[in-house]
Structure 1
Amino acid sequence: MLVELAVGDAYGAGFEYADHRFVTTHNTLAGYVRHPRHHGIRPGSYTDDTQMALALAELRVSGEPWTPEAVASAFVTAFHRDPREGYASGFHAFPGTVRTGAEFLARIRPDSDKSGAAMRAAPAGLLPTAADVLHHTDVQAKVTHDTPDGVAAARAAALAVHYCHHGLGPVAEVGAWIADRLGSDVWARPWTGKVGSKGVMSVRAALTALASGDSLSGVLRTCVAFTGDVDTVATVALAAASRSAEIRADLPAVLVDGLENGPFGRDHLARLDAQLLA
């Protein structure tokens, strides 16, 4: 799951808010592309979406208590050991100015309704019950996105993984199942058009791509074709799609092999996947 979501993140990063013509021309899955404006992210490198999901996955397998301070500490540790581009402009400088989870919590303003809590929610989706998923998701989401929409988007993203991982129904009905669990039909309504920065937008688009796909490659291309905040859409969708028995695992080797593989790259993600799924 972590490898697939990182591929979605890294591939989508080349297209984030890019011109529609650029997306149409280059969204072929033939390889990673360099963003036409943001040259700081090397093709094949993942962004904050994966780094924060990785931090939560490491916390899950550590056996440490799942508390706000532990979550914040995981984010701080991941950022300081491996600083990278991709964080939202208003947040990018913040992790570098704090050294502990307690300091993070004391200084953060958790009032965002954007997609940050949703993009990293996948590890909680593997838990055995929906109640477990929602508890763990709420704790991590409220550290930075303690708003109704910020939390709801994270819940929906984690529940999508849970639904696919446990085979709770046809993948085409994932949105309706989440809508029933969360008491809002917004998750059952297909997304169309460009995806903005709000978490609800990204997750709705991800659920739309997931529900209509039968292969990882198809889901990925659909995510990017929306245009807008497509790296987050692809991160959320591929995390869930990778756990579905209905969806073919056919990501091109050029994308899997081309994913960054430094100390916290592809091999590290694969090892964590094995630990999460054990």
Structure 2
Amino acid sequence: MLVELAVGDAYGAGFEYAEPAFVAEHNTLAGYVQHPTHLGIRPGAYTDDTQMTLAVAELLVSGKPWDRAHLAEYFVRAYRRDPRDGYAGRFQQFLDTVHTGADFLARIEPASDKSGAAMRAGPIGLLPTVDDVLHYAREQARVTHDTPDGIAAAQAAALAVHYCHHGIGPVAELPGWIGSRLGTSWARPWRGKVGSKGWMSVRAALTTLSTSTSLREALRGAVAWTGDVDTVATIALAAGSRTPEIAHDLPEILTDELENGEFGRDYLRDLNSRLLATYS
């Protein structure tokens, strides 16, 4: 799961809010693409979507209490050990000035309804029950996105992984299943460009996944929406990687050329193994 979602994040980063003509020309899965204006993110590098997901996964396997203090500690640690571009500007400026989880909590204003809590929620879906998933997703969202829409988007993203991981039903019925738990709007098909709100990215990911038969198809479809497509791809591939109903056929070039520094591809694979062993 972690490698696949990182591929989605890194591939989508080349197209985030790019012009539709650029997306249409280059969204071929032939390799990673340099974003036309975000030159600080090199092709094959993942962004905040994956880095924050690592923090969530690391806390899950640590056995430490699932509370605001530990979540903030792991968010700060993930960024401070490996600072990178890709975060929203104001939040990155904030991260550059905090050094501890306690400082983070003392200064954060968790009023956002954007996609930050949803993009990192995938590993929570491995938990054994729906109630567990809803609780864990809500608590991690409240650290930075303590709004009804921010929390619901995180819960929906985590439930998508849960549905696929536990084989609850056909992937085509995923949006309806989430809609039955979080509200009927989640079952409505997404149309058009994806904006910055968390519910937008998750609904686009649910539509993409429920109409795809392979990870390759899901990745191209996620990016084709245009807009905040790295988050759509991250959420869709996190869930899609956990079901045998979706062919695991990502192009080898995307896996092989995913960054592989200290917290890159090999680290993701190892952490993924520990995560699945914990919640098998």
Classify the TM-score, shorter chain.
over 0.9
1:34 Cα offset (Å): 0.1
Counterparts of residues 126-165 of structure 1 (less than 5 Å) = 126-165=126-165
Aligned to 2:44: 44
Report matched runs for 1:31-110 at 5 Å: 31-110=31-110
Residues 231-250 of structure 1: matches in 2 within 5 Å? 231-250=230-249
Deviations 1:186-223 (A, max 9, x none): 11000010000000000000000000000000000000
Aligned partners of 1:102, 1:181: CA distance in 2, in Å? 34
Partner of residue 188, structure 2 = 189
Distance 1:85 1:100 in 2: 20
SS in 1 for 2:236: helix
Could you tell me the percent identity over the aligned residues?
Answer: 70
Give the counterpart letter for 1:129 in structure 2.
Answer: T
CA distance in 2, matches of 1:221, 1:32: 12
Looking at structure 2, the residues matched to 119 and 141 of structure 1 have their Cα atoms a distance apart, in angstroms, of 10
Residues in 2 aligned to 1:65 and 1:30: alpha-carbon distance in whole angstroms: 42
How far apart in 2 are the matches of 1:139 and 1:105? 13
Please state how far the C-alpha of 1:27 moved relative to its aligned partner: 0.2
Task: Give the deviation of 1:269 after TM superposition.
Answer: 0.4
Offset at 1:53? 0.2
Distance 2:186 2:210 in 1: 11
Tell me which residue corresponds to 2:258. Answer: 259
Letter in 2 for 1:254: I
1:205 aligns with 2:201: no
The C-alpha deviation readout for 1:23-72, integer Å capped at 9, x for no partner, is 00000000000000110001000000000000110111111111101000
Match of 1:11 in 2: 11
Q: Distance in 2 between matches of 1:257 and 1:118?
A: 27
Instruction: State the distance in 1 between where 2:260 and 2:94 align.
Output: 26
Displacement over 2 Å in runs of 4+: none
- 1:73-103 superposed Cα distances (whole Å, 9 cap, x missing partner): 0010000000000001121111121111111
* Separation (CA, whole Å) in 1 of partners of 2:63 and 2:260: 26
TM-score (norm 1): 0.99
Please give the alpha-carbon distance, in whole angstroms, between the structure 1 residues aligned to 2:49 and 2:163.
21
- The one-letter amino acid of 2:238's match is A
In structure 1, the gaps of 5 or more residues are none
Task: Give the structure 1 partner of residue 267 of structure 2.
Answer: 268
Tell me, in whole angstroms, the C-alpha distance in 2 between the residues paired with 1:89 and 1:204.
24
Q: CA deviation at 1:245?
A: 1.3
Aligned pairs, number: 277
Counterpart-to-counterpart distance in 1, 2:20 and 2:270: 36
- Structure 2 gaps of 5+ residues are none
- TM-score, normalized by length of structure 2? 0.98
Q: For residue 168 of structure 2, what is the aligned residue in structure 1? A: 168
